[in-house]
Amino acid sequence: MIVDSHCHFHLLERPESADAALQEAKAAGVGYFLNVAVGVEEHARLTAFSERHKEVFTSIGVHPCGTGEDPSPEQLAALADHPGVVAIGETGLDYGAGSELDYGWQQARFRRHIEAARQAGLPIIVHSRLAPADTLSILQEEHAEEVGGVIHCFVEDAETARGFLDLGFYLSISGIVTFANAKALRQTVSELPLDRLLVETDCPYLAPVPHRGQENRPGWVLEVIECIAELQQLPAAQIAEKTAENFFACFPRAARGALG
């Protein structure tokens, strides 16, 4: 079994091609998907897609760079009350707009999402870009080990990985691991514990080698699995099986939906 633990079907350039991308990925052997929310405005569309495709789970949350509605923890938890919604997020910190900026509002929003996860009894999907230290300290301060979840698109060093793993979080590896300039990340991934790894595409972003520059598709999660297999010197089938098993351990509501 293969699971794409983080993709955005609804953000494909032509959203009407979401069904085609899904069929293509299923034909390639990908069995389950987590279609991640970046804003609350898209909630009805995401849950409708999950209702139509039982193998597609979804989440509720506002991306750290999101500029739309900013819901309270209570509102997020209420929206999470749907069998297809298996997580809160993506939430977290993105310091990509410049180090001179005040990111206090992002930090407050991140903390509200952790509170929502606690209320909803669901894990969180964490986006952390150029902010490893602050991400880790907010997770620690808010006792995020009580809700659990995943650091999606993990690109940090081994020491930062250890901090997240110590909190019980999973690390999700994206197509970045295949990029020519990702030598340090490949070294780190070669040493990460397989029982805490997930794989993702972050489709439509971050298409893996050899598809770089194109719109990413969930079917290309296979390239990520192949790359990890090479780094960990294990069969690709074993990486696929284990990361799928980890996915369902990380997101128990998905396990109930998929595995009964």
* Residue 127 found at the interface with Zn ion (CB under 5 A): yes
Closer to Zn ion by CB, 77 or 93: give it: 93
Instruction: Tell me which residues in 219-238 interact with Zn ion (CB under 5 A).
Output: none
- Tokens 């899904």, residue? 22
Q: Which stretch binds Zn ion (CB under 5 A): 14-22, 65-73, 137-145, 200-208?
A: 200-208
CB of 95 to Zn ion, least distance (A): 13
171 φ/ψ angles, rounded to the nearest 5 degrees: -115, 125
Which of 218, 176, 171 has its CA nearest to residue 195?
171
CB of 8 to Zn ion, least distance (A): 6
CB distance 199 to 31 below 8 Å: no
The secondary structure element, H or E, covering residue 4 is: strand 2-7
CB of 17 to Zn ion, least distance (A): 18
Each residue 24-63 as x (binds Zn ion by CB under 5 A) or -, in order, gives ----------------------------------------
CB of 164 to Zn ion, least distance (A): 15
Beta strand pairing status for 170-173 and 197-199? parallel
CB distance 35 to 6 below 8 Å: no
* Coil vs helix vs strand at 29: coil
CB distance 230 to 208 below 8 Å: no
CB of 36 to Zn ion, least distance (A): 5
Strand partners, 4: 33
CB of 76 to Zn ion, least distance (A): 17
Q: Count of residues binding Zn ion (CB under 5 A)?
A: 3
Each residue 143-182 as x (binds Zn ion by CB under 5 A) or -, in order, gives ----------------------------------------
- Residue 9 is classified by DSSP as G
* Residue 109 found at the interface with Zn ion (CB under 5 A): no
Closer to Zn ion by CB, 92 or 163: give it: 92
Please give the distance of CA 177 from its chain centroid, rounded to a whole number: 15
Diameter of the chain measured on Cα atoms? 49
Please identify the residue of the shown chain whose CB is closest to the bound Zn ion.
127
* Coil vs helix vs strand at 82: coil
Q: How many residues does this entry show for the chain?
A: 260
Closer to Zn ion by CB, 15 or 235: give it: 15
Closer to Zn ion by CB, 127 or 242: give it: 127
CB of 260 to Zn ion, least distance (A): 28
252: tokens are 């128990």
Q: Which residues make up the interface to Zn ion (CB under 5 A)?
A: 90, 127, 202
